[in-house]
Structure 1
C-alpha cells in the first residue's frame, strides 16, 4: 500500500464503471425527488402557503441531518469490523428504492404534508448512510493516481443519470406535470434505483474478515469514534481541519440542490415543466464539468478544485439574490453557472479524503466524514428558513423566499474561509 487504503494496482475498467454506476442508479432521489420534482411538489400551494411549506421542508431536512450525524460513523465502524460493507450497502440501497416508490402515497392535500416530509427525511437518512459504504468502497477501484478522475466519474455518471431519469419521466408522462404525474414518477425512481444498482453488487464482493471483533455497545462505539478522531488529529491535524471545512461547504452544496428548484418555482416563476427542463440542462452541465474537473483533480490537487468551485458559487449565489427580480433568464444563466461548480467541489472533497484514509478504516473515516458534514447540516436548511423570515421582517412581505439563497451563500463562504489554510499531501496515519 502506498497511500492509506488505496492500492497500487488499478482495478479492471468494468469494476470501476460498475462502482460509478451506483451514482447513476441512486441519482433519482437526489435529482427527481430532492431537487427538481418532489421538493417542488411538496412546497406547492396544494400543501400550504409558500413560506409555511418552505420552512417545513427546512425543518425536516435538518432533522434528518441530525440523525445522520449520530448514526453514520457507528454504522461505518460496524462495516469495517465485519467486512460486510457491500452487504450493508445492498440493503440500504434497496430500502432507498422502496422509500422513493412509497412517495406515490403523498396525495396533493395539506394533510399529506407530514407524510411527504417524513418519507423525504427517511430517504435522506438511508441515502446518506448508504453513501458512507459506497464512498468507502472507492478503495476497491482506484489508486492514488486515479482516485480524482474515478471520483469524478462517479459524480458525473450521477448527474448524467439525473438527465436520463428526467427524460424518461417526460417521455412517459409529458412535460406538463400534474400531481398524478409527480406521484407516478416516484414509482419510476424506485424501479430505476433497484435495477441500476445491481452491477456494483455483482462486481464488488465483501472480503471475509478473519476473527472479526465482537459487537460493540453504543457507548463503546462512540468512545472508539472519539479515539479515532484523536488518532487522526495526532497523525495529521490537517485532515481534521479538512473535515471541519468540508462539513461547512458540503452542507452549502447540498443547500444549492435542495432549495435550487424550490427557488426556481417560487421566486422566478418557473412552471413545473420548466423546472424539469432546467433539471435536464443542469445535470448535463454538472455531469460534464465534474468529469472534466476530475482530471484536474489528479493534476492540480483536490484543494485547488474545491477553492475555485466555492469562490465561484459564492459570487453566483449573490448574483441570484440581487438579480432575483429580473426574470427567469437570470436563473437560467446563474443557476446553470452554479451547476458547473457544485459537482467538482463534491467530487474533489471525496477524493481529498480517500487519499488520506489508512488501510482498514475506510468505513469509519467516511462515517466520520458524513458525521462532521451532518453535524452542521442544519445550517443551510436553518439559514434558508431564517433568512426568509428576516426578509419578511425587513420587507413586510410574505413572499421573501429569495432571501433564502443568502443563507446558503453564508454557509458556502464559511466553508471556503476554513478550507483556505488546510494543507493537502503528506498524509501519514497509524493503523491502531
Structure 2
C-alpha cells in the first residue's frame, strides 16, 4: 500500500484516538460520577438518573433532526472535514468549560454536557462518512475496527492517567480529588483538539461530483431523496431498522452503566476500574472481532455480539458484587467495538461513496433516534418502580428485537469497489 494511503488511513484512525477520550472519560466515566456526587446535590438518586438520562436523550434527539441535513450539506459543498473540525472545536470548548461549573449547579453542567455531546455526535457523522474515502473495499472491516481499537486505547490511557491524578491529587498540585477530576475535563478537551489535527491535515476528502450553491430548499430536497432511497431498498431499510434498535441497547449501556453501578452501591473506584477493563480489553478485541467478521461473516459475528449483550443485560439485573461488574466489563469490551465497527463497515458497503455523508447522516440519525429512547426508558423505569434493577432489565427488549430483525437482512458482499449511485438506486 502506498505511503500516502497509509498516512491517510492512520490519520483517519487517529480521530478515534482523539474523540474517544470524550466518550470514555466524560460520557462513561467522570461526568456521571461528578454529576451524581457534586453537581446534583439536593436531588435524589432516582432524580439524578432521570435528568442524566433525559440530557442524553435530548442531545440525541437534536442529532436525529440535524444529522441528515448536515450530511446533505457536507456532500453538496464538500465540507465534511470543515464541519467535523468545527463541531470538534465546539465540543472540546464546552468540555473544557465543565471544569468551572460549581457544586450544586447541575443545570449549567447538563447544558454544557449537552452542547459537548451534540458536537461529539455531529462530528461523528462526517468522520464515519470519510471511511469510504480512505478504505479500499475489503479492508473496510479492518479499518473500521482499527479506528475503534485506537479509540479504546487512547480513551483507556487518558482515563488511567486521570484516575491516578484523582487518587493522588497532591502529586499533581491539587488540594482535593474533586479538583483533579474537574481538571480532567480540560485534559479531554486538549487531547480531543490536538489529536484531531492529523485528520485535518492528511485525510483527503473526495470532491463532490457537482458543487452546488448553498440553498436551504435544495438541502432539504437532497435529505428527503436520501430518505426515499433508503426506504426504497429493502436491505438498507431492514438493516437501518435493526441497527436502530440494537444500537440503542449498546449506547444506553455506554451512557448509563456507571450511573447504574453507583445506584447499586458500588464504589467509584470499582466502577472506574471496570471501565478501564472495558477499554483495554476493547483495544485488541475490536481488531480481532473485525477479523472474525471476515472469517465467519459480518452478519454471524454481529448476531453473536448482540446475543452476548442480551446475556450481559440479564446478568446486570442479578449482579450483586463489584467482581461481577468486572466480569461484565470484560464481556462488554470483547464485543462492543465489534458491534460498532462491523455495523459501520456493513453500512458503508451498501451505499454510494459519492453520497457517503448523506447516507451516514441517516445512519447516525437512526442510531441517535434510538439513543433518545434507551436512557429515558431507564430513567422512567427507575423512577416509576423505585428499583434500578428493572431499569437495566428493560434494555433486553432492544437486543431481542434487533437480533430478530437482523436475521432478515442479507449479509453484505465484500467488494473492492463501492456501488455507484446508479447501481445503488437501480437506475
Judge same fold: TM > 0.5, yes or no.
yes
Instruction: Output the CA distance in 2 between the equivalents of 1:319 and 1:200.
Output: 40
Aligned residues: CA RMSD: 2.2
Q: C-alpha distance in 2, partners of 1:79/1:46?
A: 37
Distance 1:138 1:32, change over 3 A: same
- 2: CA distance between counterparts of 1:202 and 1:20? 13
Q: Does 1:367 align with 2:364?
A: no
What is the TM-score normalised by the length of structure 1?
0.89
Q: 1:258 corresponds to which residue?
A: 255
Task: Give the Cα separation in 2 of the matches to 1:210 and 1:35.
Answer: 40
Q: Does 1:376 align with 2:374?
A: no
Q: CA deviation at 1:207?
A: 4.6
Q: CA deviation at 1:171?
A: 4.1
Which structure dedicates a bigger proportion of its chain to helix? 2
Q: Structure 1 regions of 5+ residues with no counterpart?
A: 1-7, 393-399
State the partner residue of 2:380.
386
Residue pair 2:298, 2:412 contacting (<8 A) in 1 also: no
**Preserved contact between residue 11 and residue 141 of structure 1 (Cα < 8 Å):** no
Paired residue total:
411
Q: How does 1:135-174 map to 2 (within 5 A)?
A: 135-174=128-167
Match of 1:29 in 2: 22
* Runs of 5+ consecutive residues of structure 2 not aligned to the other structure: 170-175, 414-418
Q: Secondary structure at the match of 2:135?
A: coil
Q: CA deviation at 1:210?
A: 6.8
1:51 maps to which residue?
46
- Contact kept? 1:9, 1:143, Cα under 8 Å: no
Question: Are the counterparts in 2 of residues 135 and 350 from structure 1 also a CA contact under 8 Å?
Answer: yes
Q: After the TM superposition, which residues 12-27 of structure 1 pair with which residues of structure 2 at under 5 Å, given as runs? A: 12-27=5-20
Taking the aligned partners of 1:431 and 1:99, their CA distance within structure 2 comes to 44
Is contact 2:141–2:345 with CA below 8 Å preserved after alignment? Answer: yes
Distance 2:243 2:20 in 1: 21
Decide whether the 8 Å contact of 1:386 with 1:407 is kept in 2.
no
Describe the shift of the 1:337–1:200 C-alpha distance in structure 2 as closer, same or farther (beyond 3 A): same
SS of structure 2 residue aligned to 1:425? coil
Q: Alpha carbons of 1:266 and 1:175: their partners in 2 closer, same or farther (altered >3 Å)?
A: farther
Displacement after TM superposition at 1:292 (Å): 0.5
Contact 1:68–1:371 (Cα < 8 Å) also in 2? yes
Partner of 2:102: 107
Partner residue in 1 for 2:199? 200
Change (3 A) 1:403 1:121: same
Correspondence for 2:81? 86
Aligned equivalents of 1:250, 1:196: Cα separation in 2: 27
Deviation larger for 71-80 or 168-177 = 168-177
Shift, 1:164, TM fit: 0.8
In the alignment, is the contact (CA less than 8 A) between 1:21 and 1:154 conserved in 2?
yes
In terms of mean alpha carbon deviation, does 49-58 or 338-347 score higher? 338-347
**Residue matched to 1:415:** 402
- Candidates 298, 310, 313, aligned match of 1:302: 298
Deviations 1:202-249 (A, max 9, x none): 1113455475112232x5534432322222343x31111111111111
Q: Which residue of 2 aligns with 1:189?
A: 188
Deviations, residues 313-368 of structure 1 (Å, cap 9, x unaligned): 10121011023xx3211111123212211221111110110111113110000000
CA distance in 2: counterparts of 1:89 and 1:71, whole angstroms: 14
- Aligned counterpart, 1:227: 225
**Which of 59, 62, 70 is the equivalent residue of 2:65?**
70
The 8 Å contact of residues 11 and 142 in structure 1, kept in 2 or not, is answered as no
Name the structure 2 match of 1:215.
Answer: 214
Query: Secondary structure at 1:134's aligned position in 2?
Result: helix
After TM superposition, the score normalised by the length of structure 2 is 0.90
